[in-house]
Structure formats: structure tokens, C-alpha cells
Amino acid sequence: MNDRHDTASVPRGPIRRIVIAGGGTAGWMVAACLSKTMGKLLDITLVESEEIGTVGVGEATIPTMFTFHQLLDIDEREFMASTHATFKLGIQFEGWRAPGHRYIHSFGLTGKDHWTAGFQHFWLEGRRRGVAADYGDYCLELRAAQENRFAHLPRNGMNYAFHLDAARYAVFLRRFSERYGVKRVEGRIASVDLTAPDGDIRSLTLDGGRVIEGDLFIDCTGFRALLIGQALKVPYEDWSHWLPCDRALAVQTPCVDDALPYTRSIAHEAGWQWRIPLQHRVGNGLVYSSRFISDEQARATLLSNLQGQPLFEPRPIRFTPGQRTEVWRRNCVAIGLASGFIEPLESTSIHLIQRGVIRLMQTFPAERIAQADIDEYNRQARWEIEHIRDFIVLHYHVTERDDSPFWRHCRTMAIPESLQHRIALFRQSGRVFRAPNELFAENSWIQVMLGQGIVPQQHHAIAQLMNDRELKEFLDRIRADVNRTLAQLPSHQRYVEQYCGSALAPAA
């Protein structure tokens, strides 16, 4: 699985010259983090060409972006105004379990856990006795999403992420990075120059003949993977037997209604549609499987399910879900789409960029690149993306839909053993677990598994210690606390306009 390369024959000195190949969200997130944290020690150059567009499939994020911005001391109001951002409390899945059914995977915690068992066990006992409301009624973020409300709460009492304009975000991070010394070079990469046929990357040669030398190269060239794939020949592991969607169409529409504080994920005959509200427009797209629907049919499906007229022709994107067998080889680290791509569902792409650069910071070479650091980086990267992969596969595989060949395929396809275990554990006992450093916590797995229709056959005996009155009071108290806070929250639209209206934004 890991084609390890011996680096002992390649003498390396101190790592000072960093070359980032490619801009966009990935390149400028890397530049921002490296320059803000270690800019005084490094000479950082980013090479990008205005002639090459970025993919920009997703404009939705998850709460880890909040943490990323805290690490870099980024002002939230300035960021949101500059990127025309809105808040995101979760994702509403429409038609995934069955046509007409919907549920929300929110970012918050649900209920209160006991040290022996999670809240879901007490809720299941309450359902058995007829004293429990819907599972989501015990989660503030989920209820706020349903009511289209939002506000910052004391002590970070509301978990949230953002919907943002990805192109504006790259411009915002470019300005940020250049303040910390990052040098941008305009140009298209013509060749990647190695020290030997099986050696390190020595330099990049641009179309005009300019040569950019470096000690460590970051491949942010997207699906092209010019460095890690084409130059260093790192194989790509195809996961399309678990993840059937391989194409997307993206288009923008004007705002026709108030911005919702959640992403909409709408299942269709052979894939799903996203709807992402920003301050100034709405991002739309259809993710689909070319095995089950033609490009023409997909385009018609998307255009017939828009709110408002498209602002341009839908932009096609082709991808192969999967991961590089190594994301760090020799003196090249692939971050973003060059390292791999699952698909837009659950908005993990920007998170994986963030994790890639933070992991690089944590394993950054003191003097010379060490193979042990490379191996550990690759091990952690694989561990992380495989857990995310399983979570995405869960949405497709656990469904009651059998109304199209696509959904029948998803229901019956083989799935990773790691996911089989999680599903069986929850179905039989109501239990979930979180692996070390795993992105999605227990409550995420519970919300999606319940939402997709898994009903646990039993639950923890600890919940039986309460009598009917005690259990009802316990559940009602949590629900009342949620409703009390919810009633004090303003509408999401009004809060965004007052907090970070895009009229405050500098010119892009």
C-alpha cells in the first residue's frame, strides 16, 4: 500500500525555500498557515497562473475552519464580509433515506451523555416508553437550523461553520499571506525538474523559462497533480467501487430568499444536488454517477431544480474518488485535490486541506527531511481520510431507496469492513465510538445513522434505572433548555446583515 522510497542517497540541507505549486483555496491556505507561523524562518514562493481556473466545487465548510482561523488570528467579521459568507449549522439531507424524507446532520451536541453511555441510549429508552420527542429536539444547533436562527453565544455555545465564496476566500488569504512575506509568481508550470530520475524535485520551470528552485515543494495543482502524480509517479488508489459518483456540474444563481443557516443536500435519481446560500448568490451543483445518468440528463436535472435563473452555463467537473498511496514523497507534499478527493458530500475538502497543512507544521523538518516523518505523515493522512470515506459511504449504502438503478446499486454494493463494523454495532446495541483524531464525532454518526433509517435493536441498561417520571423530567429539561435559548436567537439573515454584511468587504 505504501511504496516507500529510500532517501538516504539524497543529501539534503536545511529546509528554508518553500515552493507552493498552485493557488486557489489549497495553495493560499498553505501559504497563510506557513507564513503566519514560520514566515520568519522560511522563504515562501507560490506559483499560480490566472489562466488556470480552480475547481471550487464546494463553498461549504465544517466547524474546524473556525479553529483554523483562530490559529491564524483571522478576524471573523473581516473574513465573512470579504467572502460574502453566511453561517452554517449543518446539512439537511432530503430524499436520501426515502423520497420525501428529510433530516439534518447538525454540528452540535445532542442531549447529555452519562459516562457509561451516550445520550442516545436514554433517548431510545424514552422512545420505548413514549416520553421522548424527536432526537433532534435535544440539539440547539439542529433546532436553530430548522428555525433559521443564529447568534454567537457566550463560551462558544453554538457550533458553526461557514458558507463562503471560495474564489474570494483565496483572494482574502493571498492578501493575508503577502503581509507575512509570501511571494506570488505568475506563470504556468512547464516542467518539474528532478535531481535524478528517481530523485527529489529540484525546481519548477515556467512557460517563460523562469526557474523556481526550492527545498520543499507543496503540490496544490488540483486533480492534475503535476508534482506528486506526474513527476514523482505516486499511484492513485481508486475508491469508485465504494463511492459511485464521479462527475459534478456547478452553477450559481441569484438569491431569491433569505439565506438558510444550513446546506441543502437533495438526493436525485443518480446522485444529489447541493444548494449553498451566500450573502450575494447561491451556489448550486449536481454530483452524479456517469454509469447511471448521461451528462445531458444530469444537466437537465440540475437546471430544472434551481431556484432562480443560472448566472452562467453549468461548469462540468470530472473526478475519481480516491487517495494517493502516498501524499508525501521525498521533498514533495500533496495538499488538496492533488492528494485525493472523496466527493463534496459533508463538505470535507477544505477541512482536509487544513489538516494537511497543520500536519505538515507538526512534522516540519528541523534540519533535514526524515523518512520517519514522511511515513508518519502518510500514516496519519490515510487513517484520517479512510474514516471520512466510511462516513460518506454510509449515506449512500444505508438507504430505503430502490427507485432507480443507482440507489439499488448503492444499497447492495460491498462496503469497507470498518464501516460494516460501525453499522452492525449501532444496529445491534445503539453504540458508537470515535477513533483517535477522527473528524466526525459520535453525534454525527448517530444523526446520520438514525436519519438514514437504522433503528438500534437494544440500548444500554443504564437508562432503565430511571422510572418514567425521572426519565421524562430528564428529557424535558434538556428540551426546555434548547427551546429557551432558541427563542432568544434572531433570524440568521438579520444577524448576518448586522454582523458581517458584504457591504463591509474590500474590493476583491
Residues 324 and 233 in one domain: yes
Q: For the stretch 264-295, what's the b/e string if a residue is b when 16 or more beta carbons lie within 10 angstroms of its beta carbon?
A: bbbbbbbbbbbbbbbbebbbbbbbbbeebbee
8-state DSSP, 505: P
pLDDT tier at 245, thresholds 50, 70, 90? very high
Residues 450 and 462 in one domain: yes
Distance CA(88)–CA(346), nearest Å, equals 12
Q: How far is CA 242 from CA 163, 291, 294, 392, in A?
A: 28, 14, 20, 9
Residues 473 and 422 in one domain: yes
Residues 142 and 176 in one domain: no
Residue 32 identity (one-letter amino acid) = A
The answer to whether residue 88 is catalytic is: yes
Q: What is the pLDDT of residues 260-273, one digit of tens each?
A: 999 999 999 999 99
> Domain tally for the chain?
3
Per annotation, catalytic residue among 36, 88, 112, 472? 88
pLDDT value at 374 more than 80: yes
Residue 6 lies in a domain: no
Task: Map residue 241 onto helix, strand or coil.
Answer: coil
Residue 443 lies in a domain: yes
Residue 7 pLDDT? 42
Residues 338 and 213 in one domain: yes
What strands, in cross-sheet order, belong to the sheet with 328-329? 183-186, 43-48, 17-21, 216-219, 332-334, 328-329
Residue 175 lies in a domain: yes
Residue 3 pLDDT? 44
Residues 341 and 412 in one domain: no
Residue 2 lies in a domain: no
Q: What is the chain's alpha carbon radius of gyration, rounded to the nearest angstrom?
A: 24
Residues 253 and 149 in one domain: no
Residues 220 and 296 in one domain: no
> 124 is in which domain, residue-wise?
109-160+404-492
Residues 232 and 251 in one domain: no
Residue 504 lies in a domain: no
Residue 11 lies in a domain: no
Q: How do strand 271-277 and strand 282-288 relate by DSSP bridges?
A: antiparallel
pLDDT value at 50 more than 90: no
Residues 408 and 485 in one domain: yes
Residues 127 and 205 in one domain: no
**pTM for the complete prediction?**
0.93
CATH number at residue 231: 3.50.50.60
Residues 411 and 482 in one domain: yes
